[in-house]
Amino acid sequence: MIITLEVHYFNSKPGETALDRSGVEVCLTDKPRPNVATMHWLGTENINIGPNAEAVAGDTCTPNQGQTATILRVWPHMHLTGSHAKMELIRQDGTRQMLHDGDFAFNSQTIYELPQPVTVNPGDKLDVHCTYKNTESRTINFGEGSTEEMCYLFTLAYPAGSLHNGRNGCLPPIGCVPGGIRRCIDNENILTALGGL
């Protein structure tokens, strides 16, 4: 068994010691569960938010595993300029189902359990959009630091890997990232600048 724990910290007062309450609890059993779920990375890394502007970045995930997936939870992840996250399921016949549409707060990042598990069938797509409000006089792009930005809606689904789009998950500028085989980021640039604030 391999367990990967990735933790990001943002110390708003550099140089001062800060404590947290992070922890991990691992439960073991001899009776495997009938379904193995994992977090899938849906979103985009094509982020370019102009100075003092609002922008939307997004992508459409097209899983190509040819199997049904079941989504249980959605966890939006952005950084300091992130303000809103949205995910829609687009059925093969074009009908849409909203899975998440809510404001985002960097200091209160929440995992949202869907009211009912949602089935994604072969041919369905998942549309993800992140909204940003940049109040600084500099352009903000994708990056790992909290003063840079991300657009991910981590999606807990089973079976593990069922939302993968078949690509290797190794994308510039961050290379191969943890969970890369579970990514569905096509990097079609649909960033939309919404003008100054």
CA distance 175 to 76: 21
pLDDT band at 166 (very low <50, low <70, confident <90, very high): low
Tell me the residue range of the domain where 181 lies: 38-196
Write out the E strands in the chain.
Answer: 38-44, 48-49, 53-61, 69-77, 82-90, 96-103, 112-120, 125-133, 140-141, 151-158, 170-171, 175-176, 183-184, 192-196
pLDDT, residue 4, reads: 67
CA distance 120 to 92: 10
Residue 133 bridge partners (DSSP): 54
Burial group, residue 110, by CB count within 10 angstroms (0-12, 13-18, 19+): exposed
**Does residue 169 fall inside a structural domain?**
yes
**Does residue 139 fall inside a structural domain?**
yes
pLDDT digits over 40-90, tens only? 889 988 899 999 999 999 988 888 778 899 999 999 999 999 999 999 999
**Does residue 6 fall inside a structural domain?**
no
pLDDT, residue 171, reads: 47
Looking at the 3D structure of the chain, how many domains does it have? 1
**Does residue 117 fall inside a structural domain?**
yes
Max mean pLDDT among 1-5, 144-148, 170-174 falls in 144-148
CATH code, 65: 2.60.120.230
pLDDT digits over 127-159, tens only? 999 999 999 999 999 998 899 999 999 999 999
Whole-structure pTM value: 0.80
152, 41 contact by CB (below 8 A): yes
How long is the chain? 197
pLDDT, residue 184, reads: 67
197 has a pLDDT exceeding 50:
no
Q: Tell me the three state secondary structure of residue 180.
A: helix
**Does residue 21 fall inside a structural domain?**
no
**Does residue 2 fall inside a structural domain?**
no
| Owner of token pair 């649909």 | 190
pLDDT, residue 163, reads: 87
| Backbone φ, ψ for residue 59 (5° rounding) | -160, 160
| Owner of token pair 């140089």 | 15
Residue 157 bridge partners (DSSP): 38, 71
pLDDT, residue 175, reads: 46
Pairing of strands 38-44, 53-61: unpaired
pLDDT digits over 81-123, tens only? 999 999 999 999 999 999 999 999 998 999 999 999 999 999 9
**Does residue 125 fall inside a structural domain?**
yes
Tokens describing residue 181: 């085989």
Higher model confidence: residue 197 or residue 56? 56
**Does residue 32 fall inside a structural domain?**
no
